[in-house]
Amino acid sequence: MEKNASTGDFRISPFFYKSQNESLVISILVLMYLLGASMNMLIIGVIYLDDHLHTPMYLFVCNLSIVDICYITVIIPKLLEMLISRNNTVSFMQCFTQMYFYFISASAEVLVLFVMAYDRYVAVCNPLNYPRVLNGRVCVMIVVGLWASAFLNSFLITFPASTMSFCQVQTVHHFYCDAKTLVTISCAGKDTFNLLLYIELPLFGLVTFICSLASYVKIITVILRIRSSDGRRKAFSTCSSHLAVLTLYYVTGMSVYIIPPSKYSDILKQVCTMLYATITPIINPFIYSLRNKDITNALLKIGRAT
């Protein structure tokens, strides 16, 4: 008998649920959340406190840290609640609220990475016009635009997903309310959602990735033309951390879609999703703090001042 999702519940069943090492899993998740949240808040705090970091580049870095905090907050606390309470049942409202904020984070992430690539493109390839192209007003408009686009895109995906129907209480073999997994257990109403998903993925995923990649190809081409080795090193150092973050996110993200069907494909997809949704937000601050002299110097200055 078919029923609408709004009248039923879902059971979230990640591959590590009811593990024999449950205490270890809980400890790792707590450590991941505390580390990721604290490091990203530290980046935001340093950028806010140091006037020298009040530039377009660090405004976008700050937004990336906000996105990373959103990512892990959407996923890890609910996972911990399920593991500690031993109750993996979530209501319709809880499931699709989590999905909505997850897609906000995912949409904002790809847009921020694209904007950061454009910022470095202008800085390296058109440095004389950098203050004019990315002035304060333009930067504010970019930030407002990317977050508005993320909220709208998430709504356009989540609402059709919430209208799907399910035959009974269903098990979601993932560690959060994953839209693609819900489609596989849906009885009806998934055609509109699938259509929107096939439009959204190329638009927000492939197009932004190609544009970001094209920016870095052009940047590297310009850097290689610099005659001074010191000039090349300095120019590349301003882009290497951004390129590392971009590569890490897209490699782990695209892995979810290229894993061939097999006995262990569900587990592999969960692991890859865990990498870009929870591990990447933890690694990003280390990439910026360890590879970026401006943030390192700002941290040292704030440390001496206190």
CA atoms within 13 A on the CB side of 105: 23
Question: Rounded to 5 degrees, what are φ and ψ at 87?
Answer: -130, 105
User: Model confidence at 3, in pLDDT bands (50, 70, 90)?
Assistant: very low
Contact criterion met (CB below 8 Å) for 174 and 12: yes
Contact criterion met (CB below 8 Å) for 209 and 245: no
**Residue of 203, 215, 205 lying closest to 117 (CA atoms):** 215
What length is written for the chain? 306
Rounded to whole angstroms, how far apart are CA atoms 47 and 71? Answer: 20
E-state strands within 74-168: 89-91, 165-166
Say whether pLDDT at 35 is over 70.
yes
Say whether pLDDT at 4 is over 60.
no
Say whether pLDDT at 25 is over 60.
yes
**Residue of 175, 196, 248, 216 lying closest to 13 (CA atoms):** 175
pLDDT of residue 262: 66
Give 201-255 pLDDT, tens digit per residue.
777 778 888 888 898 888 888 888 877 777 677 767 767 777 888 888 888 777 7
DSSP string computed for 167-197: SSSEEE-SSS--HHHHHHT-SB--HHHHHHH
Rounded to whole angstroms, how far apart are CA atoms 33 and 75? Answer: 10
pLDDT of residue 286: 82
Say whether pLDDT at 2 is over 60.
no
Does 7 or 31 have the greater pLDDT score? 31
Contact criterion met (CB below 8 Å) for 37 and 199: no
pLDDT of residue 5: 47
Q: For the residues 147-169, what does the mean pLDDT come to?
A: 85
pLDDT of residue 290: 65
Rounded to whole angstroms, how far apart are CA atoms 141 and 143? Answer: 6
Amino acid found at 116: M
User: Model confidence at 126, in pLDDT bands (50, 70, 90)?
Assistant: confident
Rounded to whole angstroms, how far apart are CA atoms 229 and 223? Answer: 10
Say whether pLDDT at 137 is over 70.
yes
Strand pairing category for 9-12 and 3-4: unpaired
Cα three-residue angle 73-75-76, rounded to 5 degrees: 75
Strand pairing category for 170-172 and 9-12: parallel
User: Model confidence at 111, in pLDDT bands (50, 70, 90)?
Assistant: very high
Cα three-residue angle 279-31-239, rounded to 5 degrees: 35
Give 142-155 pLDDT, tens digit per residue.
999 999 999 999 99
Q: For the residues 255-261, what does the mean pLDDT come to?
A: 69
**Residue of 6, 29, 5 lying closest to 17 (CA atoms):** 29
pLDDT of residue 1: 33
pLDDT, mean over the chain = 82
Say whether pLDDT at 17 is over 70.
no
Q: Among 7-11, 193-197, 216-220, name the most confident range.
A: 216-220
Give 44-61 pLDDT, tens digit per residue.
999 998 888 889 989 999
Three-class SS state of 90: strand
pLDDT of residue 236: 74
E-state strands within 87-158: 89-91
176 CB contacts (<8 Å, ≥6 apart)? 12, 74, 75, 78, 79, 98, 99, 102
